[in-house]
Structure 1
Amino acid sequence: MNKKIKVLVVDDSLFFRGVLTKKLAEFSNIEVLGYARDAFEAKEKIPELKPDVVTLDVEMPKLNGIEFLKQLLPEHPVPVVLVSSVSINVFDALAAGAVDFVRKPDLSKVDTISSFMNELASKITIASRAKVTTNKSKSAVSTLTRNSFMPIKTSPLANATIIALGASTGGTEATISVIKDLPPDTPGILVVQHMPPGFTKMYAERLNRICKMEVREAVDGDIVKNGLVLIAPGDYHMRLAKMGPNFVVKCFQADKVSGHRPSVDVLFNSVAEVAKKNAVGIIMTGMGRDGAQGLLNMRKQGAYTIGQSRESCVVYGMPMEAKNIGAVTIEASSENIPHVLRKHLSML
């Protein structure tokens, strides 16, 4: 019999605490140890109860979830799944070390509650296997990555290159590590991050403030160009297409692929078909196998492919699946992927 995942629920809403503790207990692989009404109560209960995973509301009185994570994780590195309304604070909490997040549902709709609970239970299961990182551990970025970017030769091949990146659990921060310091002349980058609607636009805006490249949420028909990063919108697939002399993105709703919408496989397969060898594929942290087959198809077409290393992944799932089927040309940590990428582009 598999060991149950022990969960502590932290939420200041009496009603929402009740919903979470009752509904999570209905999952056969989850045991709810109890709840905490605020961060101070949680700080007392976590060392005592030793949960495998904590669910955490970001917006709480007295001490918000972000400050709570900064204080908690260095002493008690427990995986945390955020339960939040649409708020930019989610990304601050992920930066502080939370593993993943789930959007709070409309509690007046039964179907919404059911799908929310299934998603939360799934992310709790993933989080129970995740590697917890803190601000302290994230700060150890190598000097090589910070200072050794090689300039891109201005060549038709480099300028025609498409960079496609896919990530899931742990990917919001890992993706920032990759693109944050890439210079404005970097070829266009297409990103699929498993994320619900509403959050992808805020995520793109957050990246745009801290990156040297321009970053925005993709709109159907956007032209891919140097210096631009396009994030697939939540609940929409994104694929690459050719329109006249330009590469463009097509954003559309269709069935989930590899269990996701947006799907990394949809993006990678389209890049393999349209850009062929003039492409780079990067697969990063996340559970499951979304993107693995698509990356293999890219490599078969002559593209250069990079997989995030086990040591730097929050969840070494998608990169592992890609590596196991021969889709990865080279592995690198999230901090060193930019150096590997720039070196490759400079040699084109």
Structure 2
Amino acid sequence: RALALGAVDCYAKSGGGMGLDDAGMLAQMIREAAKVRFSPRAPAAAPSTITRIAAEVRGTLADRPALIAIGSSTGGVEALQTVLSGFPADCPPTLIVQHINARFAPAVARTLDQSCPPKIMIAEPDMPLKDGHVYLAPGDDRHLSIGGSSTFHCKLRSGEPVSGHMPSVDVLFASVAEIARTIAQDEATCTVFGMPRAAINLGAARIVAPLGSIARHAFSKAA
């Protein structure tokens, strides 16, 4: 609930006191939190507003993508609520990697499922990707990516952290990079302008947009 209300991050301390690993991870989270630009929390969108946005998006579904991949980190849970609230209930299958501790992933999935039109769940190995469903990485020691060719499914595999994260957004994006167009959140609406900045600096972002318009761009024929 704290994450949904705008908390920068949550840390699940291991049992038996704080060890060196705990201290290192906590220090990193504090460094990331120090980069956050705080602003007053905007009120949640009214149901009528969500319905209108979903209707606008649905009007472009003839040209919609086969699937959508989303990566988010610090401040990402609140941003995900904003973006997914603009998705119609029959959106293309969507995979999400949120850099978060596994202990909090189920609660995040439940919160998003209760407030957004699509069905939102924790991804499981070989789970087939279906319209109207959003699959959130478990947040444990497995990376989430897309498997399959003619039909797609969730692929979860163990490994080392990538770019300091497990699961890593990089792994998910690498699995769709050759067929994807990239939308990056603009600096003005970011809690921390980190991953979007990296995509923009690499020239990988086809569109740079405010958070509130990302859902529209995801389904836009011109995107």
What TM-score does the superposition give when structure 2 sets the normalisation length? 0.88
Contact kept? 1:145, 1:336, Cα under 8 Å: no
Matched, 1:310 2:187: yes
Contact kept? 1:145, 1:339, Cα under 8 Å: no
Aligned residue among 44, 49, 52 for 1:147: 52
Please name the residue that 1:170 is paired with: 75
Identity %: 34
In 2 relative to 1, CA 252–152 (structure 1 residues): closer, same or farther, beyond 3 Å? farther
Structure 1 residue 115: deviation in Å? 1.1
Please name the residue that 2:137 is paired with: 232
Query: Which amino acid in the other structure matches residue 150 of structure 1?
Result: V
Structure 1 residue 147: deviation in Å? 3.2
Contact kept? 2:50, 2:85, Cα under 8 Å: no
Runs of 4 or more off by more than 6 Å in structure 1?
143-146
Contact kept? 2:57, 2:87, Cα under 8 Å: no
Query: Which amino acid in the other structure matches residue 98 of structure 2?
Result: Q
Structure 1 residue 167: deviation in Å? 0.7
Please name the residue that 2:207 is paired with: 330
Contact kept? 2:4, 2:111, Cα under 8 Å: no
CA distance in 1, matches of 2:44, 2:61: 32
Contact kept? 1:132, 1:314, Cα under 8 Å: yes
Secondary structure of 2:95's counterpart equals strand
In 2 relative to 1, CA 145–325 (structure 1 residues): closer, same or farther, beyond 3 Å? farther
Contact kept? 1:213, 1:227, Cα under 8 Å: yes
CA deviation string 1:283-334 (max 9, x = no partner): xxxxxxxxxxxxxxxxxxxx22100010111100110011001010111111
Secondary structure of 1:304's counterpart equals coil
Aligned residue among 105, 122, 134 for 1:200: 105
Structure 1 residue 123: deviation in Å? 1.1
Matched, 1:339 2:221: no
The number of aligned residues is 219
Mapping for residues 271-282 of structure 1, pairs under 5 Å: 271-272=176-177, 276-277=178-179
Please name the residue that 1:209 is paired with: 114
CA distance in 2, matches of 1:334, 1:310: 10
Contact kept? 2:4, 2:78, Cα under 8 Å: yes
Structure 1 residue 189: deviation in Å? 0.5
Query: Which amino acid in the other structure matches residue 57 of structure 2?
Result: M
In 2 relative to 1, CA 198–98 (structure 1 residues): closer, same or farther, beyond 3 Å? closer
In 2 relative to 1, CA 121–260 (structure 1 residues): closer, same or farther, beyond 3 Å? same
Structure 1: unaligned runs, 5 residues or longer: 1-91, 278-302
CA distance in 1, matches of 2:6, 2:105: 19
Contact kept? 1:99, 1:170, Cα under 8 Å: yes
Please name the residue that 1:105 is paired with: 14
Secondary structure of 1:132's counterpart equals coil
CA distance in 1, matches of 2:44, 2:106: 29
Structure 1 residue 152: deviation in Å? 4.5
Query: Which amino acid in the other structure matches residue 207 of structure 1?
Result: L
CA distance in 1, matches of 2:3, 2:105: 14
Structure 2: unaligned runs, 5 residues or longer: none
Secondary structure of 2:130's counterpart equals coil
Query: Larger relative CO (CA 8 A, sep 6+): 1 or 2?
Result: 2
Please name the residue that 1:295 is paired with: none
Matched, 1:255 2:160: yes
Structure 1 residue 107: deviation in Å? 2.4
Please name the residue that 1:129 is paired with: 35
Larger radius of gyration: 1
CA distance in 2, matches of 1:154, 1:97: 31
Structure 1 residue 150: deviation in Å? 3.4
Matched, 1:321 2:202: no
CA deviation string 1:118-172 (max 9, x = no partner): 111111111112111332xx2387x9987352324564x63x6110000100101
CA deviation string 1:179-218 (max 9, x = no partner): 1231112111100000111211221122111111000000
Secondary structure of 1:186's counterpart equals coil
Structure 1 residue 342: deviation in Å? 2.7
CA distance in 1, matches of 2:61, 2:14: 49
In 2 relative to 1, CA 193–222 (structure 1 residues): closer, same or farther, beyond 3 Å? same
Contact kept? 1:304, 1:329, Cα under 8 Å: yes
Secondary structure of 1:341's counterpart equals helix
Query: Which amino acid in the other structure matches residue 196 of structure 2?
Result: P
Mapping for residues 12-31 of structure 1, pairs under 5 Å: none
